[in-house]
Amino acid sequence: MAEAREAGPEAAGDGAAEERVAVIGATVPTGFEVTAAAEVQEKLGSASRISRDRGKIYFEVPARSLPEVHRLRSVDNLFVVVEEFKDYQFKETKEDALKDLEDLVKKLPWADPLKIWELNNSLKKKKTKRKKQNLQRTASKEKLDDGGEEEKDHRAAGGQEDCAPNTAGAEPAADQSAEEMQGEASQNEEDDNEQSEAKNKLHASSGAETKAGDDNKDEGDAKVLKFRVTCNRAGDKHSFTSNEAARDFGGAVQEHFQWKADMTNFDVEVLLNIHNNEVVVGIALTEESLHRRNITHFGPTTLRSTLAYGMLRLCDPQPTDIIVDPMCGTGAIPIEGAMEWPGCYHIAGDNNPQAVKRAASNICSLLKKNENKESSASLGAPLDIIQWDICNLPLRTGSVDVIVTDMPFGKRIGSKKKNWDLYPACLMEMGRICTPGTGRAVLLTQDKKCFAKALSRLGHIWRKNHTVWVNVGGLHAAVYLLKRTWERVEEKRSFW
Ligand SMILES: C[S@@+](CC[C@H](N)C(=O)[O-])C[C@H]1O[C@@H](n2cnc3c(N)ncnc32)[C@H](O)[C@@H]1O
């Protein structure tokens, strides 16, 4: 309780709070932990520790760097670490193990992490206020333009969601989120692990002295902090479920702080991450995953922007590079590329006119969103979208530096059977347009067998340098970094 009072609203403007060092935990696309750590090192100068729990990294930063932390491109969700136990000894029986978790609550050092959380809130409030103003301006402009996108799926409105109030339900863990986006599987591969999130189901009275929400909901108890606990558990040696852990840990949190439990309209989300014997308690700093930054018009297999960033980063884009996504779908990769590497020229295409339309709409929405910002994106995007067939690209031989694409897995898009013809044809045509000797390609697929066969046939054009194993929507997929050999490829036909 004492800690809750310490985390009073004055912390937001507290200079000392800004100097505090925060241990930040970040969920990242599984497989891209090293890439995310490299980004943290480059942009924040902090070394990261990669967790045994795949898909997470930890790093320390001064609290004043929180805005930069939120601008990281590889991270899905952020939290401030309250305490980490590398080798937590769970008692054998369920009752004992849960009792220990309950008892843990009052021993944890909550005060500093809660100050970081408050500071984070004050930054968010400023940002939301700016965004609301920008949106109002854009909305009134739109009325004048009568522009309207022709097609918006149910998430399109949510595309402006980073301006939306605190939504119901926690953001799923990184992998679950990918599943929703990629939609290619319904079952997580780690069947024996319980990675679902669970929320404590408590209804309690109030009493704490702070309130973090930025709206006027529930004015009557405006000073009551509402919270929920989300537990992610993986490992087969626990005697309890994530639901039980969240319920009992949540009960103790409520008792300790006298906060009010609210599953949907919460101010504080306490995270309890249990991975075998590793236990991390944290407080969420993001309300929704940061991977949703660019896309407003979703398709059946839209890639997360964070994964797109990781793929682009793997091929080390250089200023003036020409980067092509020949199967761009809704444009997640080229849009991320154009935003993050504006010194490169990005070309993208797809054979499906619907996909091309969606990609174009995504670019328009993003440009509109950035209209009022003083960013390079407000000047336009170095990106063109074309309808084409990957087997017959209207690009000159050897004219492209980098290819980054997310190939049809043969589940939602195309079929495994079609891939046997498509993959070798793709590799051949990509080999033709790519500069011999220096060109590189980063290709994502889950159809690894077909890809390996196609690559073995085209080994004279492409050399495999590196493979990153990723979890895309619960599917075990691979990202291949290929280097173009010096071998020339004959032009079989030409637009030129
Ligand atoms: C896995 S999806 C790409 C999803 C994309 N990364 C996104 O974020 O939406 C594969 C894409 O390849 C496209 N495709 C399939 N065969 C193609 C071909 N022969 N030429 C061009 N695009 C093709 C599909 O239309 C689909 O949009």
Q: What pLDDT digit, counting tens, does each position of 343-399 carry?
A: 999 999 999 999 999 999 999 998 888 877 665 555 578 999 999 999 999 999 999
Q: How far is the CA of 237 from the centre of ligand 1 (A)?
A: 41
Among 124-128, 301-305, 368-372, 404-408, the minimum mean pLDDT is found in 124-128
Any domain includes 490? no
Does position 137 have pLDDT exceeding 80, yes or no? no
Q: 332 and 350 in contact (C-beta within 8 Å)?
A: no
Q: 178 and 292 in contact (C-beta within 8 Å)?
A: no
Among 158-172, 214-228, 462-476, the minimum mean pLDDT is found in 158-172
Q: 36 and 57 in contact (C-beta within 8 Å)?
A: yes
**Domain end marker among 238, 262, 290:** 290
Among 10-19, 83-92, 171-180, 385-394, the minimum mean pLDDT is found in 171-180
- Ligand 1 mutation target, pool 327, 418, 442, most atoms within 8 A of CB: 327
Q: Among 307, 276, 268, 242, which residue's Cα sits nearest to residue 27?
A: 307
- How many angstroms separate the Cα of 236 from the Cα of each of 230, 241, 276, 365? 19, 10, 7, 45
Domain hosting 66: range is 2-290
Average pLDDT of the chain to the nearest whole number? 81
Nearest protein Cα to ligand 1, atom 16: 351
pTM greater than 0.75 (yes/no): yes
Structure tokens at 7: 């985390």
Atom of ligand 1 nearest to the CA of 426: 19
Q: How far is the CA of 327 from the centre of ligand 1 (A)?
A: 4
Residue 416 CA to residue 174 CA, distance in Å, equals 26
Claim to verify: residue 264 and residue 385 sit in the same structural domain: no
- Ligand 1 mutation target, pool 181, 311, 330, 352, most atoms within 8 A of CB: 352
Q: 262 and 228 in contact (C-beta within 8 Å)?
A: yes
The number of angstroms, rounded, from the C-alpha of 217 to the middle of its chain's C-alpha atoms is 29
Reported as type and span, the H/E element at residue 228 is strand 226-234
Q: Is the CB of 389 under 6 A from ligand 1?
A: yes
Q: How far is the CA of 290 from the centre of ligand 1 (A)?
A: 23
Q: Is the CB of 232 under 6 A from ligand 1?
A: no
Provide, rounded to the nearest whole percent, the portion of the chain with pLDDT above 70. 74
Q: How far is the CA of 347 from the centre of ligand 1 (A)?
A: 14
Q: 480 and 464 in contact (C-beta within 8 Å)?
A: yes
Q: How far is the CA of 328 from the centre of ligand 1 (A)?
A: 6
Burial of 252 (0-12, 13-18, 19+ CB in 10 A): buried
Burial of 406 (0-12, 13-18, 19+ CB in 10 A): buried
Q: Is the CB of 279 under 6 A from ligand 1?
A: no
Q: Is the CB of 295 under 6 A from ligand 1?
A: no
DSSP reduced 3-state for 90: coil
Any domain includes 351? yes
Q: How far is the CA of 32 from the centre of ligand 1 (A)?
A: 22
Claim to verify: residue 358 and residue 286 sit in the same structural domain: no
- Find the CATH number of the domain harbouring 375: 3.40.50.150
Considering its fold, how many domains does the chain have in total?
A: 2
Measured in degrees and rounded to the nearest 5, phi and psi for residue 269 equal: -110, 115
Atom of ligand 1 nearest to the CA of 299: 9
Structure tokens at 5: 């009072």
What number of CA atoms fall less than 13 Å from residue 106's CA on the CB side?
Answer: 11
Structure tokens at 249: 């840990």
DSSP reduced 3-state for 12: helix
Any domain includes 492? no
**Domain end marker among 228, 263, 290:** 290
